[in-house]
Amino acid sequence: MMTRRTCMGALGAVPALAMAQQSSTSSTATAGVTTRIRRLQLKHTWTTVMSSSTYRDTIFVEFHKDGITGTGEGAPIVRYHESAASAKAAIDAIVPFLESCDPGHYAKVMGEVLARIPGEWAAKAAVDIALLDWASQRMGVPLHRMFGLDAADAPVTTFSIGIDTPEVIRQKVAEAKDYPLLKIKVGLDNDDQIVTAVRAVTDKPLICDANEGFPSKEAAVDKINWLASQGVQLIEQPLPAQNLADMNWIRERVRIPVIADEACLRPEDVPRLAPHFDGVNVKVDKCGGLQQALRMIGMARALNLKVMIGCMVSSSVAITAAAQLSPLVDYADLDGNLLIANDPYTGVLVRNGKLILPNRPGLGLQPNPAA
Ligand code: MG
């Protein structure tokens, strides 16, 4: 653990030294890049209105240079025609470029990566995270410090309760006893029963995610107002992503914030959505990395939108990366690593629901001895 004094020393002195080292080595040392697909086993079968599954495959990238390894991960999204295999192929195709670049120039490098890889946003996110992990380790600072953020500002994270039978839901709520804010997937025919089952065992505040599942604007208003009466504080994506026309009709008739998720992929979506939603859910895997996510958060703030940072099911690599930006947001939904049984790393922790960012250089990942 760094003391305050050594932290200040790291901030003040090491970056200058690190830059000197970089400039002396970047012209001669070659980087190595490795990509790997990992199968993450889910603790519970995960059901949303879109799919049901027992595992997820994600793409891992390691960036090796000057004795430092930067690690990144992206969770490819089937909806956007991404798979772990397509993500791996996309990164493998630019390995010669990545091996020739200076990862200290991570902003410039990611500009090239965004231009060189068509689609494959999870792949881009994995590269971005690996570059930033490498660069902040090289500077000797936790990544959130490179962004000028205070770990003490990290919010509580929600813990998601997947769609299931009332019996299993009661069990899942019991497992979530350390989390003060629960998230429930709604939008299926039995969502009243699910919320009622949760309410039978806890009075914690809830947020709900419809994943585009409400059948009409009228049904959405009825359901959102009922959910609000049950202590639900926010609703995500009530209608299909392309339906912006009905969103203000809904917002005029409900009293909890309505957040865009499936409608919001990348920075250019934020100004388009601003007149129709109260906030946006930013996901690193969908936008192509932390640098893209930072653009989205800045744009959302300029447009007076609430900001949520969300995640896909993934290991502690992607979740710890997203958590580095959590001091900037209103709501964090970063529990994707808590849903898997074989996390290869540890990183961000949750204490009484609050995200605890590692106080180690880079992402601060460590191998998980239990994996
Ligand atoms: Mg969502």
For 288-345, what is each residue's pLDDT tens digit? 999 999 999 999 999 999 999 999 999 999 999 999 999 999 999 999 999 899 999 9
Distance 111 CA to ligand 1 centre (A): 27
Distance 130 CA to ligand 1 centre (A): 25
Q: What is the amino acid identity at position 38?
A: R
> How much distance in Å is there from the Cα of 209 to the middle of ligand 1?
5
Average pLDDT value for the chain: 90
Provide the pLDDT for residue 43: 86
Q: How far is the CA of 106 from the centre of ligand 1 (A)?
A: 29
Distance 166 CA to ligand 1 centre (A): 22
Q: Cα(282) to centroid of ligand 1, in Å?
A: 10
Which tens digits make up the pLDDT trace of 166-219?
Answer: 888 888 898 888 899 999 989 888 889 999 999 999 999 999 999 999 999 999
Examine the pLDDT at 34 and tell me if it is beyond 50: yes
Burial readout 309-346 (b: 16 or more C-beta within 10 A, e: otherwise): bbbbbbbbbbbbbbbbbbbbbebbbbbbbbbbeebbbb
Three-class DSSP category at 51: coil
Among the listed residues 260, 288, 259, 255, the one whose alpha carbon sits nearest the alpha carbon of residue 111: 288
Reading the block at residue 12, the tokens are: 């003040």
Whole-angstrom Cα distance, residue 183 to residue 335? 10
pLDDT digits (tens, 9 = 90+) for 241-293: 999 999 999 999 999 999 999 999 999 999 999 999 999 999 999 999 999 99
pLDDT at 46: 65
Tokens coding 244: 């912006």
C-alpha–C-alpha distance, residues 14 and 193, integer Å: 56
Question: What is the predicted pLDDT for the residue at 191?
Answer: 87
pLDDT at residue 45 in the model: 73
Q: Where are the alpha helices (DSSP H) in the chain?
A: 4-12, 14-25, 84-92, 95-100, 106-116, 121-139, 143-146, 166-175, 191-201, 217-229, 247-251, 269-273, 284-287, 290-302, 316-323
Which residues neighbour ligand 1 (ion) by CB within 5 Å? 209, 236, 261
Q: Which helix (H) or strand (E) holds 64?
A: strand 52-65
1 vs 100: which has the higher pLDDT: 100
Residue in the structure block whose two tokens are 């699910």 = 194
Rounded to two decimals, the pTM is 0.89
